[in-house]
Each structure stands twice: as structure tokens, then as C-alpha cells.
Chain A
Amino acid sequence: GESVGLHLPTLSVQEGDNSIINCAYSNSASDYFIWYKQESGKGPQFIIDIRSNMDKRQGQRVTVLLNKTVKHLSLQIAATQPGDSAVYFCAEKNSGNTPLVFGKGTRLSVIA
């Protein structure tokens, strides 16, 4: 979910379970959405993207769901592994040459 104040929300998941990370976006005109993974001390790494003409897109072990009615985006990670432990950010943009707008992130902690 979205963070409040200075503390990132944390999701703790048992290794092997599925993870669901949620993001509420703000701009109803946004038509492109991305999920990034950021490990400590590194730059964000692209995971998966989705355009507003879709409501679901699957990658390797990851699925992104988009609900435009309630402006909600989620990232599902199947069979979560210790290497999935990181901070996950959603980002949105509307059409044209406008920059991405990032959410505040969710920390995923995988319990071995």
C-alpha cells in the first residue's frame, strides 16, 4: 500500500508464498504504469509495465493488475523467493512526454 509519513509500509511473506503489493495512483488521466524493484544501495530495476487499455499483464513469476475504476494497481509475485526482498515502487504517467510520477514504495521482506 501507500506510505504515510516517513515509514515505508512493509509486507512480510513466507518463502514460497505469493505476494501482493498494492498501489493507489492519483491521476485518472494516467495511461501507463510501471513497477520497479529497488535493492539497497542500487537504482530501481524495471519489473513490468502495463498500459491503460489492459487490465492484466503477466511476466515471469509476476502479474500486474490494473483497475482504472478505483485507480488501483497491484503487483503479484508468485512463489516469493529471498531474492525478491526489496522495496517496490509503482509509477504512473499520462500520454506524451511527461515524466513518471512515483509512489512512495512498499518494502517486501521474505522470511526463509
Chain B
Amino acid sequence: DGGITQSPKYLFRKEGQNVTLSCEQNLNHDAMYWYRQDPGQGLRLIYYSQIVNDFQKGDIAEGYSVSREKKESFPLTVTSAQKNPTAFYLCASTIPGRGMDQPQHFGDGTRLSIL
């Protein structure tokens, strides 16, 4: 089945540590996205990538970093500079619009907590 896989489902971080969240898709989508969701809130864009080896900051990129070395993979690193990292992190992908927009497809998220 084609889809987006995020791992792990739950992740714990000690203060001062960097952690990396995995996102893999086999949908052959060019564009991938990372969102952060806090309780009772909507989705806020962290980073996105329209094509391999290229990515752009979203609205809340500070304290995060990404890489896009392969089309299938878009890992997100939450660095120690992110002072409030506890949240639900969602990865999404889509075919970028070529005159006809397409919906984003989402993984089932990673919940990150601080120990």
C-alpha cells in the first residue's frame, strides 16, 4: 500500500539533546512537509521541500532542521535550540500543483515529549 510512514510513534527527549523524526513516503510525491500541532491547535508549518536537495522554512522553523537527500525521505531534526519541543509532529506529501492543486497526504504523526 502506498502511504507515508512516520517513526517512531512516540519519542522522548532529554533537555539539551537533538532528536530526529523520520518520514518516508512511497507515493512518488515530489513535495514533502513538516507540521507541528499543539493540543487544541491547528497545524503550523515548520519546513517544506518541493524537490530533492531543496527546502524552505515555514512559519516556525527556528530550532528545527531538515534534509532532503532522497525523494522518499524528509527527516526532521528537533535541535536543543527548540525550547518548547513537546508537540505532535506531522509529515505530509503531495504532487506540487501544475495548474491543478492536489491535496496533501499525511502520516500518523510522532508525539515528542521532554523527559
Contacts and interface: CB of A to CB of B under 8 A. Distances in A.
A96 B106 CA distance: 20
B64 interface: no
Categorize the interface residue count of chain A. Answer: 20 to 34
Contact of B90 (A44, A93, A103): A44
- Summarize A's interface: helix, strand, loop or mixed: loop
Contacts of B35: 102
Interface stretch (B11-19, B37-45, B67-75, B77-85): B37-45
A49 B106 CA distance: 15
B41 A43 contact: no
Contacts, number: 60
Contact of B101 (A36, A42, A93, A104): A93
Interface residues of B, number: 28
Interface string A36-50: 100001111110010
A5 to B, nearest CB: 9
A19 B114 CA distance: 38
Contacts of B105: 46
A45 B103 contact: no
Contact of A42 (B40, B41, B92, B109): B109
B58 interface: yes
Interface of B: 4, 6, 31, 33, 35, 39-45, 48, 50, 58, 90, 92, 96-97, 101, 103-109, 111
Interface of A: 3, 6-8, 31-32, 34, 36, 41-46, 49, 51, 89, 93, 95-97, 99-100, 102-105
